[in-house]
């Protein structure tokens, strides 16, 4: 029986250089194959040629909208830096965590492994949001 599990593949390179074009296409092909090997029958892909320090990336924003609007179970990335760098990365991870979206990393050969510091920051963000919600409701 074929399942109808839907995932997205997110590919990013940092520059518009021609040499990066093959990198983004390679990422796309590898991630779609990876998602299908994990049982995802539909894989939508999103791409950016932009710095990971920025959250103002058309592909990223479209991907986040899609995750929010549709039943997307997982995001596939080459490695954690493809989602972003610095604070942008934490912001994206936080949004994905809130939407209960699993992030698979090709480099981790499974669900993305966060270090202790990242996990702590994400826990703090969740706690702060919960208190903000309680204050707003009060």
Active site residues: 14
CA dihedral 90, 60, 79, 23 (to 10 degrees): -150
What angle, 0 to 180 degrees and rounded to 10, lies between the N-to-C axes of helices 86-98 and 58-69?
Answer: 10
Residues 38-64: b if buried by 16+ CB within 10 A, e if exposed: bebeebbbbbbbbebeebebebbebbb
**Alpha-carbon span 51 to 119, nearest angstrom:** 23
Separation between Cα atoms, residue 43 and residue 63, nearest integer Å: 12
């Amino acid at each position: 029986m074929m399942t109808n599990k839907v995932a997205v593949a997110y590919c990013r390179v940092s520059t518009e250089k021609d040499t990066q074009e093959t990198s983004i296409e390679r990422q796309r092909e590898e991630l779609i194959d990876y998602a299908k090997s994990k049982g995802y029958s539909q894989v939508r892909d999103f791409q950016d040629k932009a710095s990971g320090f920025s959250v103002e990336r058309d592909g990223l924003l479209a991907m986040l909208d899609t995750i929010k609007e549709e039943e997307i179970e997982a995001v596939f990335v080459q490695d954690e830096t493809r989602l972003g760098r610095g604070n942008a990365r934490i912001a994206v991870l936080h949004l994905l965590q809130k939407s209960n979206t699993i992030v698979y990393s090709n480099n981790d050969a499974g669900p993305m492994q966060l270090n202790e510091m990242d996990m702590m920051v994400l826990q703090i963000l969740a706690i702060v949001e919960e208190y903000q919600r309680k204050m707003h409701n009060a």
